[in-house]
Structure 1
């Protein structure tokens, strides 16, 4: 989160007071102590007795000074035009022609000049070598003594740049974040500092224990940049140039990407995006298909905490079902309509980022949605499917749809069809609809009796597929959520249509009770989810709370109790069977089929066990 301008100004004024020898708050430089290389473990698990910085050595930086001195003390961000030359490496025009322009929003806002030599994205997916580094032997020779005293190779360097801090400028207190921070050492080397006494560079575990670091030219020091640090250039006329270096303990795992002079890079949301890659990732990249009330909202919230995953303009787009515009006749028009629900124009520029939505009605409504995906999103999308023990899912679905609490739009979307019906009435309606479509030859609706022999012949047959298609055609409605109470829990049947159309590798099936049960399982699951999207994982989530939950009594148990008060257990036809057991018996064979499917594709076990 960006530091407010008024807070930056306050910190700047405080820093100027600390720089003033005449001030009672004057802050002298701390003693130079060489603690050697700071272990990376201190970034992940800091303790109070660990140093926050280490004075590594002092070296002669004259050769580098001679290369970068020209033009370092000029404000190129003002409206005044400045002439460029091939020897002025700071000039934006020269950099754009002979190096690669890098747009770094926060640094550019502060007016910081830069000469970028090596750079990586925040997730250490790629390391880029810039033309100045590749083509300028004099620059490499001038930097080599710094690498030598640190005892490292170029292959370990993932960021190497020179930064020119304007006069009377403060970079506020902050700590660096991102996956790269805990895997790299941060080294600073003052290169051009005409008045070191005007530089307040501080680092420490917290704001109360900051130490001022000596910024005389050639002082090679390492800081723990996962801790608090800030810098102020209190000079009224001179810029300050530091070489900033980030290196890993081991060589970077991939060969560097060598950039071409004149390229442009954008740094945003912890990603680096080459202009030449614009439009290479189509929108959207993924969809959470369902099932409704099985944790889809939570999964989406966890996914979009990743800096590379951009939320859609609305989580449930419904652009492929009830928001589909039948008046649009061409594929291009239909695609353009659906892409309006995402930040498509912005994402076009940033190929490292991706987006998707969570519309949990899609899983059941395969008859409409699949051909529309094939037509307008004809690239290898990634799909997520959340499943939940189907009796609990049905109760949660009924509770949501019949709840009087919600916005006008929410109440309208839920529909009114179930408002004056009991849970069990809705169950019986859905069973009758499935029966009438020929989907339940194995199940005696009145008696709750399962015929294993009929099931053996019917399960997976063409007759079952035809009956399922008829059910979808007749009973999967638009503009209401009041349908499919039990059908939405027939997960294998729903997945069957999708797996016939798309590769199994495009799907990740997750189980609410197993995969989003607690913080530990959520973190473990999200690593799988991000890998499914082809992006690096992150080590922590800001919020692992369950989303879109509500308190409600078990309708099955409540209605059973009402029947008991009337004289015994609930009667279903000629039998006496608890309603929960009735539903568990109904779902049991479907759950077994789902279990086999999940094991077949490496999605694990759902672990739903019924004591029948």
Structure 2
């Protein structure tokens, strides 16, 4: 039945505060969140998308009891086909997008991959020559681990999203705002989901990067390089959403 469909998804972005948001929303009794944070259903290329197994997807939630179901898989904004599959699944779904300065996001993403051993090359190489690795990936031009730069083209991604969903079904937030002062941001989310306001939560840090030797710090030359790479796209993002970085 349509009523048991997932009502909202936190669809982006990786390293953009989505874990913290999911943690905060887990305290809302009006919501039924997925049993784990990232379900990776709509980016699953092994799924038969001519006949997707929505029953398996719904198996990640408690039995439907009338509460709004929601999940958070931040690759959906970036991964090709994911938003289109979500639109087919539930055209009325609400999408929350958490954005973070794309340079900071890229650095945090690289540190995560380096810390877990998926990445062995320095950040400076990865955001320059290393981008060529994506052209040997499948789908062509996309990569789950090495997409440090590509995931930060928010303007392009939001344009695609707005081409699939009405703007009143999309809420765009800044990770910095949730981190600094969570109460106003969470009030926005509750209003967006049609929930009454709630007491201000206790601020918390979630998924802090591992304390280790990364071989270098974020260099000014790398920041300047990425600012140049992102300049045009960030202008597009500002035009589309009013959100500005840099």
Q: Secondary structure at the match of 1:319?
A: coil
1:329 CA drift (Å): 5.5
d(CA) in 1 for partners of 2:138, 2:190 = 32
- The 1:528–1:293 alpha-carbon spacing in structure 2 relative to 1, beyond 3 Å, is same
Question: Gaps spanning 5+ residues in structure 1: where?
Answer: 1-278, 405-410, 438-470, 561-576, 600-604
Q: Does 1:428 align with 2:128?
A: yes
Q: Aligned residue for 2:41?
A: 319
In the other structure, the counterpart of 2:101 is 389
**Separation in 2 of the partners of 1:554 and 1:485?**
19
The alpha-carbon deviation at position 500 of structure 1 amounts to: 0.6
- 2:58 corresponding residue in structure 1: 339
Q: Residue 141 of structure 2 is aligned with which of 453, 460, 475?
A: 475
**2:228 aligned with 1:516:** no
Q: For 1:387 and 1:556, how far apart are their aligned partners in 2?
A: 27
TM-score in terms of structure 2 length: 0.88
Q: How far 1:430 moved relative to its partner?
A: 4.8
1:291 and 1:386 in contact (8 A); partners too: yes
Map Cα deviations across residues 416-461 of structure 1 (whole Å, 9 max, x no partner).
Answer: 3x2x211122112454468x79xxxxxxxxxxxxxxxxxxxxxxxx
Corresponding residue number in structure 1 for 2:206: 547
State the secondary structure of the residue aligned to 2:111. Answer: helix
Among 330, 334, 344, the alignment partner of 2:51 is 330
Task: Pick the structure with greater CA Rg.
Answer: 1
The number of equivalent residue pairs is: 246
Q: Which of 225, 234, 239 does residue 582 from structure 1 map onto?
A: 225
Alpha carbons of structure 1 residues 287 and 578: separation in structure 2 relative to 1, 3 Å = same
Q: Which has the higher contact order (CA 8 A, sep 6+)?
A: 2
2:153 alignment partner in structure 1: 490
1:552-563 maps to which residues of 2 (within 5 A)? 558=217, 560=219
Runs of 5+ consecutive residues of structure 2 not aligned to the other structure: none
> In 2, Cα distance between the equivalents of 1:483 and 1:431?
8
- Shift in Å at residue 558 of structure 1? 2.9
Distance 1:595 1:429, change over 3 A: same
2:85 corresponds, among 364, 368, 372, to: 372
The normalised TM-score by structure 1 is 0.37
Q: Is the 8 A contact 1:288 1:357 kept in 2?
A: yes
Alpha-carbon distance in structure 2 between the residues aligned to 1:483 and 1:369 = 19
> Cα gap change, 1:525/1:559 in structure 2, threshold over 3 Å: closer, same or farther?
closer
Whether the 8 Å CA contact 1:394–1:486 is kept in 2: the answer is: yes
Distance 2:2 2:44 in 1: 29
- SS class of match (1:400): helix
Query: In the alignment, is the contact (CA less than 8 A) between 2:106 and 2:152 conserved in 1?
Result: yes
Deviation at 1:549, TM superposition (A): 1.5
Specify the alignment match of 2:241 in structure 1: 598
* CA distance 1:287–1:429, change in 2 (3 Å): farther
**Deviation of 1:336 (Å):** 1.1
- Structure 2 CA distance, aligned partners of 1:493 and 1:423? 23
Q: Which one has a larger percent helix, Structure 1 or Structure 2?
A: 2
